[in-house]
Amino acid sequence: MFLLVAVLFAHVSLETPGDQYGVWATNASTESYAVGQPNRLDVESPVLGVLAAVEAALLNISLLVTSV
């Protein structure tokens, strides 16, 4: 249960789906500690942004289902 809470907290308050999408779609971080830094692959891809956000949502759902 702790893992579920920790992951949900991280994805809701620390790195939101909008942040996850943005860093891949624009190739620039908006996080206060890394403003303007490129992503690890140094690519600008809205498709990868959507995939990153969907992957995080699926992770949250799978952890919820597993915990229940």
Containing domain of residue 58, as a range? 2-67
Q: Is 27 left (phi over 0), alpha (psi -120 to 50) or beta?
A: left
Asked if residues 45 and 25 have their Cβ atoms less than 8 Å apart, the reply is: yes
Averaged pLDDT, 18-22: 90
> What pTM was estimated for this model as a whole?
0.78
Chain segment 41-51, per-residue pLDDT in tens:
999 999 999 99
pLDDT given for residue 9 in this prediction = 87
Q: Distance (Å, rounded) from C-alpha 31 to C-alpha 13?
A: 12
pLDDT above 90: residue 23: yes
pLDDT above 90: residue 30: no
Q: Which residue has the higher pLDDT, 36 or 32?
A: 36
Our count of domains for the chain comes to 1
26 backbone dihedrals φ, ψ, rounded to 5°: -110, -5
Averaged pLDDT, 16-43: 90
